[in-house]
Amino acid sequence: MASESISVTTSDDQTIQLSRKHAQMSQTINSMLEDSVGADQEAIPLPNVSSEVLKKVIDWCTHHENDPAPVEKVKKLNKKREYKAKNSTISDEWDKNFVNAELRVIVDILLAANYLDVKGLFELMCKHIANELKGKTPDQIRERFGIQDDLTEEDKAAMRKAWGATKNDS
Amino acid sequence: MLKPTKQPSFAGECVQMGADIMILPVDIMLNLLINHVDPSQILNLSETCRAFRSLCSEPHLWKGIVKKHFPNFHQRLCLRALGKSTTWRQSLHEPLSPMITARPNALQSINWKGEYFQRTRIQNNWRKGVYSVAVMEMHRDAVTCVDFGDKWLVTGSTDGSLRVIELRPHLHSSATSTPVMDSPMIHSGGYHSGVFQSPSIADRFKTSAKMKEKERSSTPSIVPSREDTSFSQMKTGFSNLLNNAPKQGSPALAPSSNKSLTKSSNGTNLKERGRLTVSYGYVPKPKTLGVPIPVTPPKTRVLTGGIPEALLGNSKQPTAATAVTDIFIHDLPVQLPEIMLHDWNVLPRYLHPIQCNFEITCLALDDHNGLVAAGGPNGRLIFSTVSQKNATPTPLEGHTGDVRYVHAADKTVISASSDRTARIWSLDTGSHVVLGDHESAVNRVMLTEREAFTGTEDGILRIWKRDGTLTHVYRGGEGSITGILYSITEEKEYVWISTSSGNITGHIIHRPQSEESQVKESNVADVTLKGHTGPVNTIRLQGHDRLLSGSTDKTAAVWNLKNGKRESVHSTAAPVTFLDSSTDNNMLVYATQYDLFVSSLKRQDAHDEGEVYLHIKNELWVSCLLSDDTLVISGSNDGKVTIMDFSVRREDLVEEEVVEASPAVSTTGVSPTGNTPNGGAFSGFFKKKKK
């Protein structure tokens, strides 16, 4: 009988307890659990995730624990895609608050979600970053993401020319 | 024990301090950009810094975007790069394999970014109804059948000839297929281009009338010959021709074929009746360049010309087809003149006739190998190459009854005949295999890589191996079979048949391993698509998982093959005779007797009608219709073939008239769904629904 809680060790050497249900929302942990049936006393090492980020991930998992299985979700999205571009707005209020964080945190969660293979969270973070880009001019994007402009004016002129040719095509 | 793994950032060494987004690895960035960012936004992103610039010009990014937005196109492009004999249109109906294990180097040559924007342009053109149109008076009698692929368009007519047109010249390799332009350019019928948008169309007509007024005093210029036809020169020549048309047109020019046509119709002016309402730029034949056609006195023979039986659904049912019984044809054979068209964008370059000397009722084109097969009454069946001028058709002898249907692929032709046989002809060796033992006339046939399918008049489907061994008989169908399709849905191979009883059924293809296995008999279909109440006239596939059907019950339906459910129904005022799709553009093209519609294929929820974007009224019966993702080709009963091309660039469409009308175009062009009132007299052309 597998225990109801799983312990994991994060990159900053903290051991965190999380419920089996939440742990299984991560495909990465899930496959590790399947590989080591019976050895579930041992803490699972997650060397790519810090405790701070993992707590955030667990928060998200707690809120979405009753969502339909991620596989179904993906299928649904695929179907929609055939008709029109995926709806990029974040509908869930809780999610909106969740993504209202510093970019550094968002990027870390995105990396963690990718590593832990939590599909819904990954999609949410991608959506959020995409929304941040939406409708912004290059200058605005630089400002928002703290990017320094290392392109020369000639580079930009050349790019606009090349893009102009393509754009006229459309 | 796991070790911390750090994936390299997409920015490589360019990572900037403080720019957190730049620590993300390439695959995450690509996923993000492909799935969540609007492609046009990528332009702005690429202008922010060097790291993003290189990321945004990554071919993988654009390949992914093409795959996401245009899945079918992506597949075909891959197949094409791998040298598979797939054509744009035919691959829809004869899918090779949905699995693409593409060799990366073969795909490197593809400019994915360019392709994406080209596809977007085409999609916008469909949505906004922007197209160029060429109306060609190609036959002296009803156009009964048409087939086209990447390179060639072939039309067949009851006047006993096939016409070959070279499509999309830019796809032809320049060395081998540059046509010899040795004869003078002759106009036969109209040729024009323009932006057709419902709100502005009235303005356009007004402006062109104004232009006519203005130029009426100017001296007519000579039509430029093919050699010096730069586009602008052609335009001037063309617009002069156009504007002089009303004055000099009818009496002085048109001594040859016009006369013959008027004569032939025995009092009824076919020419007048047959004019497409949309072809305002009708160009008469220039007198100086006209070649007199030797015309023998018309032989008065009444034909029930050119309406395939499938059209009528149930042949016993009298439908509007009776309206076209008064077609008279010339004594065959008649020498047909060479017709040439302007070299312009992707529109046809030239065309030449293949004389067959029998009334052609069906044809099939093997675009990849440049071969065409055509069938007619009394067992007449020929094949010919399309690339050579004055090609002599080779007869394929064997059938004793009317050839009802042909299908060609990979240098092989399969023909269906009322003599209760189908035959598979190998054009390389000249040998053929007889598929006999049918209880009644064979209506439809289809050939795939491994199998042949035959459908009879009494609804029996047979599946044969290519060597002529029968493997499967399905006897459950009611009514005659009107269409056969082949699809690969969820890794199972299906044959789909439609019948005049209104059923569409799917049958899984079994391939028994053992040699001695018996013929499988069945009465129950694996999948039945229920919904039509009248004969199904046409079925088509859109990609691998949608089937479109048009029926005499005045509906066109869209079926999802994965779950067998009807996705949407388009109701019209008349029986849907022909229908086709434009694949990734999600548009439906269908004809109901005299009308041609281009409609969106939108809603998932059933019973929601698609939005009609274009409605073109013909004065004559639309006798055939085909489309692919850029072209819509239709034939009518007076011998005219209309080619609508949705791949035009707006810049190329700028004629004098458009320049003058530009304010109207720019203000109204942006909202295809706007409810601007249609221009008075022309409101019948374009019907739009309010959103």
Q: Which residues from chain B sit within 8 angstroms of residue A145, using beta carbons?
A: 19-21, 48
Smallest CA–CA distance from A154 into chain B, residue: B47
Average confidence (pLDDT) over B417-437: 90
Nearest to B648 by CA among B125, B199, B77: B125
- For residue B282, the distance in angstroms to the closest alpha carbon of chain A comes to 29
**Does B651 contact A at CB distance below 8 Å?**
yes
Smallest CA–CA distance from A165 into chain B, residue: B114
Q: Judging by DSSP bridges, how do beta strands A5-9 and A44-45 pair with one another?
A: parallel
Is B342's pLDDT higher than 60?
Answer: no
Neighbouring C-beta atoms of residue B330, cutoff 10 Å: 21
- For the ranges B322-331, B553-562, B581-590, B669-678, the maximum mean pLDDT occurs at B553-562
- Do A130 and B22 lie within an 8 Å CB cutoff? no
Bigger pLDDT: A33 or B394?
B394
Q: Which residues pair with B417 in a beta bridge?
A: B403
Q: Which residues from chain B sit within 8 angstroms of residue A74, using beta carbons?
A: none
Smallest CA–CA distance from A32 into chain B, residue: B2
- Do A81 and B68 lie within an 8 Å CB cutoff? yes
Q: Which helix (H) or strand (E) holds B159?
A: none
A26 SS3 class: coil
Q: How confident is the model at residue B416 (pLDDT cuts 50, 70, 90)?
A: very high
- Do B38 and A85 lie within an 8 Å CB cutoff? yes
Cβ B421 vs Cβ B442: under 8 Å: yes
Q: Which residues pair with B520 in a beta bridge?
A: B472
Is B212's pLDDT higher than 70?
Answer: no
Smallest CA–CA distance from A46 into chain B, residue: B2
Q: Which residues from chain A sit within 8 angstroms of residue B48, using beta carbons?
A: 138, 141-142, 145, 147, 149, 151
Amino acid, single-letter form, for residue B130: V
Average confidence (pLDDT) over B391-396: 87
Tell me how many helices (H) and strands (E) chain B has: 16, 37
Domains for chain B: give ranges and CATH numbers.
Answer: 21-123 (1.20.1280), 132-140+535-650 (2.130.10.10)
Q: Which helix (H) or strand (E) holds B333?
A: none
Q: Which residues from chain A sit within 8 angstroms of residue B649, using beta carbons?
A: 168-169
| Interface-testing mutation among A81, A145, A149, A159, with chain B (most B C-beta atoms within 10 A) | A145
pLDDT, mean over chain B? 65
Q: How confident is the model at residue B455 (pLDDT cuts 50, 70, 90)?
A: very high
| Interface-testing mutation among A9, A74, A99, A133, with chain B (most B C-beta atoms within 10 A) | A133
- Do A170 and B114 lie within an 8 Å CB cutoff? no
Residue B333: cis peptide before it, omega within 30 degrees of 0: yes
**Does B121 contact A at CB distance below 8 Å?**
yes
CA dihedral over B315, B321, B325, B329, signed as positive or negative: negative
- For residue B162, the distance in angstroms to the closest alpha carbon of chain A comes to 35
**Does B662 contact A at CB distance below 8 Å?**
no
Q: Which helix (H) or strand (E) holds B440?
A: none
| Cα distances (Å, whole numbers) of residue B70 to B73, B99, B428 | 5, 16, 36
- Do B36 and A130 lie within an 8 Å CB cutoff? yes
- Do A11 and B4 lie within an 8 Å CB cutoff? yes
Question: What is the predicted pLDDT for the residue at B198?
Answer: 27
Is B422's pLDDT higher than 90?
Answer: yes
Q: How confident is the model at residue B294 (pLDDT cuts 50, 70, 90)?
A: very low
Q: How confident is the model at residue B381 (pLDDT cuts 50, 70, 90)?
A: very high
Bigger pLDDT: B150 or B691?
B150
What is the rounded CA–CA span in Å between residue B104 and residue B110? 11
Q: Which helix (H) or strand (E) holds B481?
A: strand B481-489
| Interface-testing mutation among A13, A163, A167, with chain B (most B C-beta atoms within 10 A) | A163
Bigger pLDDT: A112 or B247?
A112
Predicted ipTM > 0.90 = no
The residue assigned the tokens 């047979």 is B462
- Do A169 and B121 lie within an 8 Å CB cutoff? yes
Q: Which residues pair with B569 in a beta bridge?
A: B557
Instruction: Count CA within 13 A, CB hemisphere, residue B112.
Output: 24
Question: What is the predicted pLDDT for the residue at A56?
Answer: 86
Interface size A-B, in CB pairs within 8 Å, comes to 122
Q: Which residues from chain A sit within 8 angstroms of residue B126, using beta carbons?
A: none
Smallest CA–CA distance from A167 into chain B, residue: B117
Is B75's pLDDT higher than 80?
Answer: no
Q: Residue B4: which of A47, A85, A106 has the nearest Cβ? A: A47
Is B93's pLDDT higher than 50?
Answer: no
Assigned token pair, B494? 């299906």
Q: Residue A169: which of B20, B118, B586 has the nearest Cβ? A: B118
| Interface-testing mutation among A13, A36, A116, A166, with chain B (most B C-beta atoms within 10 A) | A166
Bigger pLDDT: B268 or A36?
A36
Which pairs from B106-110 meet CB under 8 Å and 24+ separation? B106/B81, B106/B82, B107/B63, B107/B78, B107/B81, B108/B59, B109/B81, B110/B59, B110/B63, B110/B77, B110/B81
**Does B325 contact A at CB distance below 8 Å?**
no
**Which of A147-161, B176-190, B452-466 is predicted with the least confidence, judged by mean pLDDT?**
B176-190
Cβ B480 vs Cβ B465: under 8 Å: no
What is the rounded CA–CA span in Å between residue B418 and residue B458? 12
Bigger pLDDT: B491 or B561?
B561
Length of chain B: 691
Give, as one character, the DSSP assignment of residue B298.
P
Smallest CA–CA distance from B543 into chain A, residue: A82
Average confidence (pLDDT) over B262-274: 29
B80 SS3 class: helix
Instruction: Count CA within 13 A, CB hemisphere, residue B438.
Output: 29
Domains for chain A: give ranges and CATH numbers.
Answer: 48-161 (3.30.710.10)
CA B181 to mean position of chain CA atoms: 27
- Do B32 and A146 lie within an 8 Å CB cutoff? no
Give, as one character, the DSSP assignment of residue B655.
-
pTM, entire model: 0.67
Q: How confident is the model at residue A68 (pLDDT cuts 50, 70, 90)?
A: low
Is B344's pLDDT higher than 80?
Answer: no
Question: What is the predicted pLDDT for the residue at B460?
Answer: 92
Q: Residue A110: which of B28, B43, B68 has the nearest Cβ? A: B28
- Do B36 and A86 lie within an 8 Å CB cutoff? yes
Is B320's pLDDT higher than 70?
Answer: no
CA B180 to mean position of chain CA atoms: 26
| Interface-testing mutation among B9, B40, B44, with chain A (most A C-beta atoms within 10 A) | B44
**Residue B114 CB partners (closer than 8 Å, separation 6+):** A166, A169
- For residue B310, the distance in angstroms to the closest alpha carbon of chain A comes to 31
| Cα distances (Å, whole numbers) of residue B493 to A107, B4, B566 | 45, 46, 20
Q: Residue B53: which of A83, A159, A169 has the nearest Cβ? A: A159
Assigned token pair, B305? 């010309």
Question: What is the predicted pLDDT for the residue at B610?
Answer: 55
- Do A159 and B121 lie within an 8 Å CB cutoff? no
- Do A141 and B45 lie within an 8 Å CB cutoff? yes
Q: Which 3-state string (H, E, C) describes B505-546?
A: EEEECCCCCCCCCCCEEECCCCEEECCCCCCEEEEEEECCCE
CA dihedral over A61, A65, A69, A74, signed as positive or negative: negative
